[in-house]
Structure 1
Amino acid sequence: MISTIVWGTGNVGRLAIRAIEAHPALALTAVLVNNPDKVGRDAGDLAGLGRDLGVAASDDIETVLAGRPQAVVYAASGELRPDDAIADIAKAIRAGAVVVTPSLYALYDQRNAPPEVRDPIMAAISEGGGSLFVSGVDPGWGNDILPALLSGLGGTIEAIRCQEIFDYSTYDQEDSVRYIVGMGQPMDYEPPMVAPTIPTMVWGGQIRLIARALGVELDEIRETVTRRDLDETITTATMGEFEKGTQGALRFEVQGIIDDEPRIVIEHVTRIHPSCAPDWPTPPDGDGAHRVIIEGSPRIEVTVEATENGNRAEGGNATAVGRLVNAIDWLVEAAPGLYDALDVPLRPATGKLGRKP
């Protein structure tokens, strides 16, 4: 069994605990937390499993890493603390661990990552012999390996579009929804999620990764943003009221431009209520879906819907976590290094049929 720790127990970390518990080759040996209120709590409790796993959460990073875990799922946030996240991950790699994480956007396309991000990781790999694989939680597979795989089914390809379509009304992250995405804010409010250059910082690496998979050169990456206001005041089950006239829907694209045309596009279509922007793309059922559209001959469209305990938001996160956790045993067998989605194969779930966390 591969000794594995989870570092951080938020939306990603609690799902990682479940995925590790369900994996036949992995053994959860420690959980690291920052919140003092979580210290000492059982991992099964933190993951919402309804049973104890016999692993108590700790805030003692040095002691946990001194135990030389073979793998680390780094689930702590990185978007607002990238330097700290890099330092944490490098520390785990120097301890000899394979690390998987969604937290370092710049390493989605690790070959073209800036030196200030890549160099500390490569130094840690050289020193400690660990590895790193970064894949997004939006989910990464929908913006990298899935479109790359589907492109192999086509004859000619004119454009590739990856969509996340989501209704935030059931999403239990009010600060993110109201202040980062901007739902319920005045229409002159600029959501940080779509401030100039931010979408490219987050998703540009995946655009470059797809381009590399297809063997094409990008001229540039562009961004487009569209917002719609609510026609009526609406009330959500998890976050309360959103007033008429405030932002009710947000749509943006990160476009890989080739010959002055958007040929590789990552698009997010988000709403706080289905009634807002009904002319925009919608999921086939429920509150969310991920879709890949390949324009060409033939035209290919694949829509993926995932639920976790009936929750679409957690379902998407769970598949993203599954991609990371299911890569651990492959990474342990591979040579130390810095890997991306084109390096790490998507494999069948061998030995998992019928298993539950």
Structure 2
Amino acid sequence: MTYRVIQWSTGNVGHWALRSIIARPELELVGVWVSSEAKAGRDAAELAGLDTPTGIIATTDADALLALKPDCIVHTAMADDRLMEAVEDLKRFLRAGINVVSSSPVFLQFPYGTLPSEAIDPIVEAAREGGASLWVNGIDPGWANDWLPLLLTSGSERIDRVVCSELMDYSTYDNPKVLFEIMGFGSALEELPLLLQPGVLTLAWGSVVRQLAAALDVELDDVTQDFERIAAPGPLQVAGRTVAAGTAAALRFRVSGIRSGREVFVLEHITRLHPELAPEWPQPTGKGCYRVEVEGEPDYRLDLQLYSNGDHARAGLVGTAARLVSAVPAVIEARAGLLTAVDIPLTTGRGLVS
């Protein structure tokens, strides 16, 4: 069976999602939405960096694309700085009867316990009204801290604690808005960026620890957040900008699920703009990795290294996009509503072996 798909945005993740859709034999690309006139009118293949034209021309006309009534939209538009607008976009798609896989807003990957019911219910109602499904995922939050840790726990006799970590050098991450405005790199340590404002970490990544807790039948007493930042000892060149000495250049944050006074589930990020910064913090395997540790009987530790053309940051974008596209058939066939990682079956790279 072939499913008709629209790609919504062609930025850092959308570029790779577009390539993944074109590569999948069970998917038919029928439209591409772009946010700028500079991209409108261009063939999807050109936007994806491919040589063979698809005949699908990108457009800024959202109404025209929705009128095509695709089976699914792969939504990868930036939402960090426009959360409410992004949610309204998703509700619009759902009410139109179109299934959606999306990379954001990330808290929707498992919003229960993180968002109030008045924020969740309108999304669920839009899905039911249109008879469509919404699934938000990626790599983190996503399969590096939902399916990977849950798979490891299936081999446990006893579980004491589950820790999911991202340990990355972000110096090659080509997204200045995220790096400098949202994460606050290059700013004074006393200036808190959006990401580190009270409650933001637990909003974005609290969903990770709450989903693990729900999947393992644990009722949490609290979800907490903490962070630490390290200044650059000298100037660094990152994403075309100079990060001045004395400004933020490394970040460590933790979101912890607490039960009976102790950590049971932990989501941790350790992000550096240079590998020699903060040597006392945990170090990645290779240039960057996602690490899953299950403490108990037995203890497990899994380090997932990822590279694309030698670049781990690019590999994370490819992996996020491919994860969404792989799930398109399963989400289309699922019940109407807001889905989580435990609601869909195993998805694979079927049809991609060359």
The TM-score bracket by the shorter chain reads over 0.9
1:224: which partner in 2? 226
The farther-off stretch of 277-286 and 303-312 is 303-312
Contact between 2:138 and 2:323, CA under 8 Å: does it hold in 1?
no
Closer, same or farther: CA 346–319 of 1 in aligned 2, 3 Å: farther
Unaligned runs of 5+ in 2: none
- 1:234 to partner: Cα distance: 2.9
**1:48-98 residue CA offsets vs partner (Å, 9 max, x unmatched):** 224432211111111111111001011112222222212211221222221
Corresponding letter in the other structure for 1:85: A
- C-alpha RMSD of matched pairs (Å): 1.6
Residues 93, 256 of structure 1: alpha-carbon distance in 2 compared, 3 angstrom cutoff: same
SS at match of 2:257: strand
Which amino acid is the alignment partner of residue 178 of structure 2? S
> What is the match of residue 14 of structure 1?
15
User: In structure 1, what is the equivalent of residue 297 of structure 2?
Assistant: 297
In the superposition, relative to structure 1, how do residues 116 and 91 fare at CA in structure 2: closer, same or farther (>3 Å)?
Answer: same
Task: Provide the TM-score with structure 1 as the length reference.
Answer: 0.94
Q: Does 1:198 align with 2:184?
A: no
Q: After the TM superposition, which of the residue ranges 177-186 and 247-256 deviates more from structure 2?
A: 177-186
Change (3 A) 1:148 1:129: same
Instruction: Look up the SS of the partner of 1:141 in the other structure.
Output: coil
CA–CA separation in structure 1 for the residues paired with 2:52 and 2:314: 20
**3-state SS of paired residue (1:20):** helix
Question: Take 2:285 and 2:227, find their aligned partners in 1: how far apart are those partners?
Answer: 23
Deviations 1:165-219 (A, max 9, x none): 1111111112321222122222222122122110001011111100001100101
What is the match of residue 146 of structure 1? 148
CA distance in 2, matches of 1:82, 1:187: 26
Contact kept in structure 1, 2:112 and 2:207, CA below 8 Å: no
- Which residue identity lines up with residue 329 of structure 1 in the other structure? P
Q: Give the secondary structure class of the aligned counterpart of 1:29.
A: strand
Partner of 1:210: 212
Tell me the equivalent position of 2:331.
Answer: 331
* Offset at residue 139 of structure 1 (A): 4.5
- What is the letter of the counterpart of residue 188 of structure 1? E
SS of aligned partner of 1:158: strand
Structure 2 partner of 1:166: 168
Deviation at 1:272, TM superposition (A): 0.7
> Which residue of the partner structure matches residue 71 of structure 2?
70
Cα distance change of structure 1 residues 50 and 289 upon mapping to structure 2, 3 Å threshold: farther
2:206 corresponds to which letter in structure 1?
G
Structure 2: distance between partners of 1:335 and 1:223: 34
Query: Which stretch has the larger CA shift, 156-165 or 224-233?
Result: 224-233
Residue 99 of structure 2 corresponds to residue 108 of structure 1? no
What residue identity is the alignment partner of 1:345? P
Q: How does 1:53-64 map to 2 (within 5 A)?
A: 53-64=54-65
Deviations 1:6-60 (A, max 9, x none): 1111112111101111112111110011212111111112122244322111111
Partner in structure 1 of residue 248 of structure 2: 247
Aligned to 2:136: 134
Match of 1:194, as an amino acid?
Answer: L
Q: Distance in 2 between matches of 1:216 and 1:139?
A: 20
| Deviation (angstroms), 1:137 | 4.7
> In the aligned structure 1, how far is the partner of 2:341 from the partner of 2:37?
35
Distance in 1, matches of 2:82 and 2:353, equals 38
After superposing the two structures, state which structure 1 stretch, 93-102 or 26-35, moved more. 93-102
Alignment of 1:178-197 (within 5 A): 178-197=180-199
1: CA distance between counterparts of 2:182 and 2:44?
Answer: 29
Q: Does 1:265 align with 2:266?
A: yes
Amino acid at match of 2:237: T
Shift in alpha-carbon separation, 1:104–1:183, aligned structure 2, 3 A: closer
Question: One-letter code of the match for 1:155?
Answer: E
Percent identity of paired positions between Structure 1 and Structure 2: 39
| C-alpha distance in 2 between matches for 1:317 and 1:140 | 12
Question: Which moved further from structure 2: 208-217 or 128-137?
Answer: 128-137
User: Please, which of 104, 114, 122 is the counterpart of residue 120 of structure 1?
Assistant: 122
